[in-house]
Amino acid sequence: MTLLFDGKAFRLEQDQDLGLLTFDLKDEKINKLGDVSLPELDGLLKDFKKKFPTIKALLFRSAKPGSFIVGADLNLVRSMKDSSEAENASREGQRIFNILEDLGLPTLAAVEGPCAGGGTELILACKYRVVSDSARTAISLPEVNLGFLPGWGGSYRLPRLVGLGTALDMILTGKSIRADKAVKIGLAEQSIPAALFGDEILKLGRRLAAGEKPFKPRRDPGLLHKIQKDQPALLQNFWAGRRFVFHQAKGGVTSKTRGNYPAPLRILDVIEKSWGERREKALDLEAKAFGELWGTTESKNLVGLFFLSEEAKRDTGVTLKSDVVKALPKISEVAVLGAGVMGGGIASQSAAKGMRTLVKDISWDSVSKGLAHAKKLASESLKRKKINKVEHEAWMSRIRGQVDYSGFKAVDLVIEAVVENIDVKKTVLKEVEVLVRPDCIIASNTSSLRVSDMASAMQDSSRLVGLHFFNPVHKMPLVEVVSHDKVSEEAVARAVQFVKDIGKTPVVVKDGPGFLVNRILMPWLNEAGYCLLEGYSIEEMDKTLKDFGMPMGPCELLDEIGLDVAVKVAKILYKDLGERSKPSDAIDRILGEKDNKRLGRKSGLGFYTWDKPGGKRVEPDVGGIEKLVFAGQSSPNAPEHTPESLVRRQIFPMINEAAVILKEGLTAGPAQVDLAMIFGTGFAPFRGGLCRYADSVGLERVVAELERLSEIHGARLAPSQALKDFAANGGKFYRS
């Protein structure tokens, strides 16, 4: 093996006639394409055959364990000054990858681990691709999730490699493709067992260098491969078929995004216009679109959200020095008290990430239900091929159900997820405290009760934290880590690290009524109740707020939460927060039904009918709700309004509460509020979060509108002094 080049990002070696180009970005845990690696790659590839005439094939690999290339360095994207600079950056990446594609000798990309964005565009410029069957291997083009499109040739090369339909599915969703599927769709030539990967890729590279053809001839994917399983193949291969497919795709995108995200439609436009065109023309269309989309507010907000998420991964949540935090013992064994839906979900998530997990409840019937829920989640991951059978068996083997406290001396963390009753929780915490080690962290999954109230029942409250998971646990990325006056920073830091280790995003908040997310959410849901009493329809409210960008409207969300739970939380917050949290009695009227079974999705009936308890939404039960809310009389006609005024009526009270929370110092700043609201409620990501949205509207305007609304509807809508202070002299939540 002869070393030909050793730079800051790449190492080029020669093994007989084979060149080995190894990506190993110095002082980084992962490989990114940026201001160091791209110029170095450019310099290596220029006049490659002239500089290295004895190399007959080139193998591209990564030196980072379990990781290939995670994409472009988004700091470069964020630092661009204008759309023209963004377009030029796209053209520069295209130029370098064109050199790779035109190298004039066989090129083989050996992918093990994550390969995303620019990394995927790089392997598309290679002639061949092989993948490791490691569970970590995943190939994606996620740029749509950042508000732009693949800008280094991905929109041109992927459709021509795997077919138009498959490519659209990947590019419009940003979904990751595992190793077996990459081979199936023609994205990779071969999948290699992870244990043999290093040796096998060298063998393949040497065969290519010797002039052999180690791979089977590529199957023609067809123009529109995998658009619809029942779509006739003949239709797929004619212009009329393509036109139909683009029409269908545009309709699907418009329906899904409600016109709030410009990137998907622009991507479709670029791919449709570039189909059948020469590479030069297609890449020109791509670069122009990249520049345009980079300049949109939506893209800037989505990129900002990415950095918020990355900062949360690095944040320890405490003021302790980083070396002190790193030295704290890791949590590897967990016990969950309560085997309900939340307890089963928390246990399943912990076990999925490699932690041995005990699940305790008071009866075997309850335990079996919790384990069944955990098994269902694991089976769904297996069915969707997110894990293999071995991983599925290992997942389930790490969970043990029981009705006693055996084994609790070995656990590092106990999470209480029993009924939302302060006396029950105090009893459970007092009981478990003496059964675990002194260094064991104890946490409560309460969603509304004060952690400090529970702490009063414990001998050592310094190890008690709140870990508020959101339902469903396996889907919701946020966990609120709740601190209180007596908790130690070490306990908070270990809890934060645990949340990261199980694949969730932590946001640290101080103890208080409703913590952060529920406290901000309830003014919206309360106001929806008042609007209902005034004659606003279920359908109109839900449609308007979904058009605004919320994943659900208020009525559907109340059904998801559970009407009984929503009322309970609303009354707790009203008791603590006063007039601005005064709930309407709309839901009380609904729950007043004799032999009430109208609890929302969990009972199969709420504002909507559901096909079964816990099932799919069918339609709003307008007649049933009107009968309960208006005592059998017709609902009044809603006041004259527009969709915009309805949004202001329901969203601005949330902004008001966020201002109070920030003034009280319950969390570090507006970035934490925005991250929590997006990850905890799905608040419109393209708007950048609640505080970012408020700044875009203008806080002075929010204050003025709330003053107007309070004169009409009451003091609950009056702007807080905290909001007025933020708004003073054109102020914003974000100071820069």
Choose from 147-151, 448-452, 636-640 the range with maximum mean pLDDT. 147-151
Q: Is 50 exceeded by the pLDDT of residue 97? A: yes
Q: Based on the domain organization, do 475 and 542 belong to the same domain?
A: no
Alpha helices in 102-153 (DSSP H): 118-124
Provide mean pLDDT across the span 9-21: 96
Q: What is the mean pLDDT of residues 529-548?
A: 96
302 in a domain, yes or no? no
Which of 245, 274, 295 is a domain's end point? Answer: 295
In a domain, residue 391? The reply is yes
Residues 466 and 522 in one domain: no
The 8-class DSSP code of residue 224 comes to: T
pLDDT > 60? residue 226: no
- 240 pLDDT tier (thresholds 50, 70, 90): low
Q: What is the pTM of this model?
A: 0.91
Q: Tell me the average pLDDT across 107-132.
A: 98
> For residues 679 and 518, what is the distance between their CA atoms, to the nearest angstrom?
13
Say if 638 falls within a structural domain. Answer: yes
Q: Mean pLDDT across the stretch 593-622?
A: 90
Considering 491, 510, 529, which residue would you say is the last residue of a domain? 510
CA atoms within 13 A on the CB side of 694: 34
Token pair in block for residue 307: 């950095």
Do the beta carbons of residue 639 and residue 534 sit within 8 Å?
yes
Cα 499 to Cα 1, 496, 575, distances in angstroms: 44, 5, 31
Q: What is the rounded average pLDDT of the residues 25-32? A: 94
Which band of pLDDT confidence, cut at 50, 70 and 90, is reported for residue 1? confident
Mean pLDDT of 116-135: 96
First to last CA, the chain: 53
pLDDT given at position 236: 45
What is the number of domains present in the chain? 3
For position 565, which CATH number holds? Answer: 1.10.1040.50
Task: Provide the residue type at 114 as one letter.
Answer: P
pLDDT of residue 227: 43
Measured distance CA(388)–CA(437) in Å, rounded: 36
pLDDT digits 0-9 by tens, 565-585: 899 899 989 999 988 899 999
Flag whether pLDDT at 595 surpasses 80: no
List the beta bridge partners of residue 178: none
Q: How confident is the model at residue 229 (pLDDT cuts 50, 70, 90)?
A: very low
Give a yes or no: residue 93 inside a domain. Answer: yes
Which residues are within 8 A (CB) of 247 and not within 5 positions of it... i.e. 6 or more apart? none
Please indicate, yes or no, if residue 260 is contained in any of the structural domains: yes
Q: Indicate whether 487 and 529 sit together in one domain.
A: no
Quote the pLDDT of residue 337.
96
How big is the chain by its Cα radius of gyration, in Å? 28
Tell me: do 217 and 270 sit in the same domain. Answer: yes
Does residue 472 have a cis peptide bond before it, meaning omega lies within 30 degrees of 0? Answer: yes
**pLDDT cut 90: percent of the chain above it:** 86
User: What is the predicted pLDDT for the residue at 231?
Assistant: 43
Question: Helix or strand or coil: residue 270?
Answer: helix
Q: Which residues are catalytically annotated?
A: 468
493 lies in the same domain as 527: no
Residue 240, H or E segment: helix 239-257
- Which domain-ending residue is among 510, 531, 557? 510
Residues 149 and 234 placed together within one structural domain of the fold? yes
CATH number reported for the structural domain that contains residue 474 in this entry: 3.40.50.720
Show the domain range for 428: 330-510
Whole-number Å distance between alpha carbons of 301 and 295: 11
Label residue 330 exposed, middle or buried (CB < 10 Å: 0-12, 13-18, 19+).
exposed
The region that residue 71 occupies, defined by phi over 0 for left and psi between -120 and 50 for alpha, beta otherwise, is left
Alpha helix positions (H), 258-363: 262-274, 279-294, 297-314, 322-327, 341-352
User: Is the domain of 635 the same as that of 725?
Assistant: yes
Whether 440 has a pLDDT exceeding 50, the answer reads yes
pLDDT at 384: 82
- Are 541 and 427 members of one domain? no
Q: What is the CATH number of the domain that holds 45?
A: 3.90.226.10
Whether residue 548 sits in one domain with residue 503: no
